[in-house]
Amino acid sequence: MHAPLNDVQVLRDPADADANGGSSKEEAFSHMREWKRQYMRGISTTTSQAGVYYEALKGSSHSLAKGSRNFRPGSMRRVRRRAVFKNGDCNVVQKNLQRRRVRFLQDMYTTMVDWQWRWTLLAFALSFILSWLFFALLWWLIMYTHGDLEELHMPDNQEESGWSPCVSAIDGFTSCFLFSIETQHTIGYGVRTTSPECPEAIFMMCFQSIYGVMSSAFMAGIVFAKMTRAKQRAQTLLFSKHAVICQRDGSLSLMFRVGDMRKSHIIGAGVRAQLIRTRSTKEGEVMTQHFTELEIGTDDSGSDLFFIWPMVIEHKIDENSPLYEMNATDMLHDKFEIVVILEGTVESTGQSAQARSSYINTEILWGHRFDPVVLYNKDLQAYEIDYARFNETTQVDTPLCSARELNEIYKIQEGFRTPAPTSTAMRHSSPNSSTHSSNTCSSGFHSGDSTLQYGQTRKLRYVWQLSVPGNGRKALPNRLPLRRGCSIDT
């Protein structure tokens, strides 16, 4: 569970305002709006996780988090517009398309499959009703031109007058409509039959029978394709609500979790992730939607998954990562979106399926890791998956500096472990060089091929800040500070 923010404690519940401090509800709401305004500017953010403000209030019993009109938790999440919604739908609206309707009608099958269900079912019903009425009108015209609808030629008078009609037992438009339905769907009750008296009636019967088979196959195919679309299979593929950043084997990693609710597996499952953000070229061109592929994988198996239970997908933040120079503050304030795509083949149908989701900066928790959801049940003698913990995370100690700064710290730390110089070498050293202390460092530390330059008398009092539950930040003792937000062991 997420640890609540210390700053949230200063938000007074308007329902208890008069009892606890004598202040009015208006003052409490005013204080809340001011804190919210500061949070959006990034002034009062002091913890190691982005987006925790929303989570802290959502999990609290504060009346402001229970649907107050002056505070809507959902509005805090709409910090940045997103290209892909959490359910996988793309947030794209097309406009100014030339000949749009004509192009869509040329691909009528795909258009009707992409329709919403209410429009598909409406088209399904209208296709039959209108065809029944249309052919009923044609049958009525055939009967009218042949003279079968005259008073002396009605079914009751045909034996007396010796009249031979085109279709027997037809006395008006209603009977023509019923005959149209029987012909199109080959019902054949045996009362109304076509006679060889009218060639046009024979031709109409053959044409309507062929049309009925084609229209039934077309509409049934649309409904079947709509019901078996891979999009429906994607509804049972789950993505974690948040992504997290923590350390794995000493390196910072971005992680999110994917899962499958069904017992029928996704064959050949693969996962991809792309970063969308604004980028400026050397020529001054501003690319507002620049895509960067992220190298991701799970454990040591790469991006190809043996998808039998929920898995944590990891992106190692190294020199090739676009997140290499982003620290916790940058992660909170920069505007970007990470789109994740899960693809594979449905085992039961053989169709390709794709599920999508995205994470914006406020949905990435810095200093968290996912709780395990797969445990072995000895009673069942099987692995048990607890989906109630699918989105659960645990707050862990994580440096707030960027991965680049963290790597520099590790390089300097290795330099301190090298043998100390001899006294002769120290006597011939330059006067500007000196041994390090707990609060200062020399003008240049060499570690391998890298050299970190600092001011000669500059005191570096920054510490490695950790996300300690309940305290927000904490400075570790006996550490030599070298970079803002980072330090190393002495």
- Map residue 41 onto helix, strand or coil: helix
Among 289, 351, 228, 323, residue whose Cα is nearest residue 90: 289
pLDDT, averaged across the chain: 74
Does pTM top 0.75 for this prediction? Answer: no
465 φ/ψ angles, rounded to the nearest 5 degrees = -90, 130
d(CA 84, CA 239): 13
Dump the DSSP string for 410-454.
HHHHHHHTSPPPPHHHHHTS-TT-----SSB--SEEEETTEEEE-
Query: Within 10 A of 329 (CB to CB), how many other CB atoms are there?
Result: 17
**What is the structure's pLDDT at 141?**
94
pLDDT digits (tens, 9 = 90+) for 447-464: 333 333 333 223 233 333
* C-alpha 39: how far from chain center: 25
**What is the structure's pLDDT at 483?**
38
**What is the structure's pLDDT at 173?**
93
**What is the structure's pLDDT at 254?**
95
Cα dihedral sign for 53, 56, 60, 66?
positive
User: What residues does 163 pair with on adjacent strands?
Assistant: none
State the DSSP H helix or E strand holding residue 183, giving kind and residue range, or none if neither: helix 173-184
139, 171 in Cβ contact below 8 A? Answer: no
Amino acid at 183: T
**What is the structure's pLDDT at 176?**
93
Amino acid at 271: V
**What is the structure's pLDDT at 239?**
94
Task: Answer left, alpha or beta for residue 96, where phi above 0 means left and psi between -120 and 50 means alpha.
Answer: left
Domains of the chain as residue ranges with CATH: 7-77 (no CATH), 117-230 (1.10.287.70), 242-395 (2.60.40.1400), 403-489 (no CATH)
In this prediction, the residues of the chain whose per-residue pLDDT falls under 70 are: 1-80, 302-303, 417-490
